Structure 1
Amino acid sequence: MSALVLDGVQTRIGRYSVLHDVSFTVPEGGVFVLLGRNGAGKTTTLRSIMGLWQPEAGSVKFGATELRGMHTSAIARLGIAFVPEDMGIFRGLTVAENMVLATESGRFDQKRLDWIYDLFPALKKFWHSAAGGLSGGQKQMLAVARAIIEPRKLILIDEPTKGLAPAIVDAMAEAFREISERTTILLVEQNFEFARSLGRDMAVIEDGRIVHRGSMDAFAEDRELQTRLLSLSV
């Protein structure tokens, strides 16, 4: 089963054509990783899916629903969450207030909240603290926790390990593995080892076009392909 299908997506930002022909399928369940060099079009792809930037051509199918042309709020109500690279937290609000804003009813399901506490214990410790005072890793935990406070069918996550210490990256990987057992994750990530440890399927984008699709295991074994597409040597 497919959670998301992009077919020939083209997105223009102002005068610039950023996505030229983006096509890939995200299977239901697990983690799908979108890789690429800086400026390749990864973030634009996620924002196009969420309707933050509207594609001018192509199709974005979430199940049987065409997302292209829909407002971001309507897309979110279908069960899709987005964790942007800048995390988008409200620094002047407490952790609790940030979390409640992400709920539909303004109330927490205690069982789900306890699950989030198990994933990210720091959030329970700083529940009544201002989000702006959290460390970078704790802010990222809060951003991800907001995305999962309600049941989601798909979560788009943009560069979650950027600037984080190795110990926090390892903790984030463990949390993502558990989250992916409940929902599908489309992950954009520059940290190849982190992506490799999580991804089942993957695609590489270059200059606004998908240039490779396949299994993460096969890609991880092909050093020449990694070097050619990502300038990696691992």
Structure 2
Amino acid sequence: MTLLSLQNMKTNIGQYAVLHDVSIEVPEGGVFVLLGRNGAGKTTTLRSIMGLWQPSPGSVTFRGRDLTGLHTVDIARLGIAFVPENMGIFGGLTVEENMILATAKGTFDPKRLTYIYDLFPALQKFWDKPAWSLSGGQKQMLAVARAIIEPRELILIDEPTKGLAPAIIDNMAAAFREIAQSTTILLVEQNFEFARSLGQNMAVIDDGRIAHAGTMQDFVANSALQDQLLGLSV
């Protein structure tokens, strides 16, 4: 079943046309990966889905509901969360305070909090510490945890492995696999090894257009296509 559908989505930023007729079908469940070189339009796609930049024309539908024109807060209330590339955490607030800001009523479901602790044990250890004191990997854990402190149907995650050590990336991959058991993930990623280890379905965006879409298994098996679209042999 299709959870999220982008049809002929175009996005202009100022006088520049960034996305051109982008069409993607994200099925419910698992991890869908959006790949592409720097500047290809990956982040713009996520921001357009969230209403941070308004696509026009074209459509974005979530469970059949048209999101076009909705404010970001209304899109979030439908069960969609966004983890931006810059993580967007508040350094002057504690881990706990950052998490409270992501809740609807300012309180935690104890079972949900236990789930978060199991995914990211470091957050429990630094619960009362200011977010600025966390390592880069711990800040990324906080950003993801904040997005799922309440149940979501879809999470958009932008470049979560950027600048992280290999051991932290492995931990993040394990957490994502667990999250994907109950929440669909639309992942933007340039680390192909990380992406291929998680994704079931994928698309490649190039110069604001979808250049290829299919299963991750088929894409991994086609090294010539990988080199053509991503330059992975370089």
TM-score (norm: length of structure 2): 0.99
61-70 or 192-201, which moves further after superposition?
61-70
User: 2:64 and 2:40 mapped to 1: Cα distance?
Assistant: 28
Q: Please, what is the CA RMSD of the aligned residues?
A: 0.7
What pairs up with 1:1-234 in 2 under 5 angstroms? 1-233=1-233
Q: Extract unaligned runs of 5+ from structure 1.
A: none
Q: Deviations over 1:120-141 (max 9, x none)?
A: 0000000000001100000000
Amino acid at match of 1:9: M
Q: Deviations over 1:181-230 (max 9, x none)?
A: 01100000000000000000000000000010000011001100000000
User: 1:42 and 1:64 mapped to 2: Cα distance?
Assistant: 23
CA displacement at 1:56 relative to structure 2: 1.3
Q: Secondary structure at the match of 1:57?
A: coil
User: 1:225 and 1:64 mapped to 2: Cα distance?
Assistant: 32
Q: Extract unaligned runs of 5+ from structure 2.
A: none
User: 1:211 and 1:127 mapped to 2: Cα distance?
Assistant: 43
List structure 1 segments (4+ residues) > 4 angstroms apart after TM superposition. Answer: none
Amino acid at match of 2:28: E
TM-score (norm: length of structure 1): 0.99
CA displacement at 1:64 relative to structure 2: 1.7
User: 2:190 and 2:209 mapped to 1: Cα distance?
Assistant: 17
User: 2:233 and 2:112 mapped to 1: Cα distance?
Assistant: 40
User: 2:45 and 2:13 mapped to 1: Cα distance?
Assistant: 12
CA displacement at 1:233 relative to structure 2: 2.5
Query: What fraction of aligned residue pairs are identical, expressed as a percent?
Result: 74
User: 2:3 and 2:196 mapped to 1: Cα distance?
Assistant: 20
User: 2:33 and 2:94 mapped to 1: Cα distance?
Assistant: 31
User: 1:80 and 1:186 mapped to 2: Cα distance?
Assistant: 10
User: 1:221 and 1:109 mapped to 2: Cα distance?
Assistant: 43
Amino acid at match of 2:196: R
Number of equivalent positions? 234
Q: Deviations over 1:87-114 (max 9, x none)?
A: 0000000000000000001000011100
